[in-house]
Amino acid sequence: PRKTFTESELADLAASIKEKGVLQPILLRSVSNRPYLYEIVAGERRFRASKMAGLSEIPALIKTIDDTNAMEIALIENVQRENLNPIEEANAYKNLMECCDYELPDVSRLIGKSESYIRNMLRLTSLPDSVQGLVEQGELSASHARTIAVAQNPEELAHKIIAEHLSVADTGRLVKNGARSSVSKKHTNHGIDDKTIRDIEKQLSVALKVPAKISERRGGSGQIILSFATRTQLFELVEKITK
């Protein structure tokens, strides 16, 4: 998840490594079909700083780790060490949800942060690249960026915030009185009404001949839950769906 490595941070770590060595081994996994080639799962900062310190060898652990677990480990280590900038952190959460089929509660349990915190961080991923760049460079705070994420003109607002040194409260008032983005509107719309939900559940139940339950979340995501009474009914259900 970590994309940015500042020279000053690496220099400080390199100085520490020169004096005390690498105290915690980096974590590696072998690259498929590439003998003796390894990928760093956790510890890239230590690896880079060790090279800067002139070391030719450092301790490492080699483990068999699949893609999902590798992403989990890398994210947890970086978040716990607070080495990620806000955009890297937000994209890491987004990748866990999109690439690993995680839901918001899953990420919350994994990271040990509240669902509202992760939801707010995810808002940063909807910002234009230019605004994300300002956050990565430290010119715009993550709080300001989250506030303007729902606005129709976040890039314009970002430059206004920087030029006029606006507070987060001032920024919030600007956004409240301005136009909202289509993404914001989509996420603040009311969910499907109860009657429509019941009608859809009935259609599914009739078509599949099993009880169906729909659970909609904020933003339009959700679950369709199908219940079966016997193993035979399960196999029949699977056959209907896959056809």
Label residue 21 left, alpha or beta by phi (over 0 means left) and psi (-120 to 50 means alpha): left
Burial 220-242 (b: 16+ CB within 10 A, else e): eeeeeeeebeeeeeeeebeeeee
List residues with catalytic annotation.
44
Q: Hunting for tokens 């349990």 — which residue is that?
A: 109
Spatial separation of the C-alpha atoms in residues 234 and 213, rounded to whole Å? 16
Assign 3-state DSSP to the chain and report helix, strand, coil percentages, each to 5. Answer: 60, 10, 30
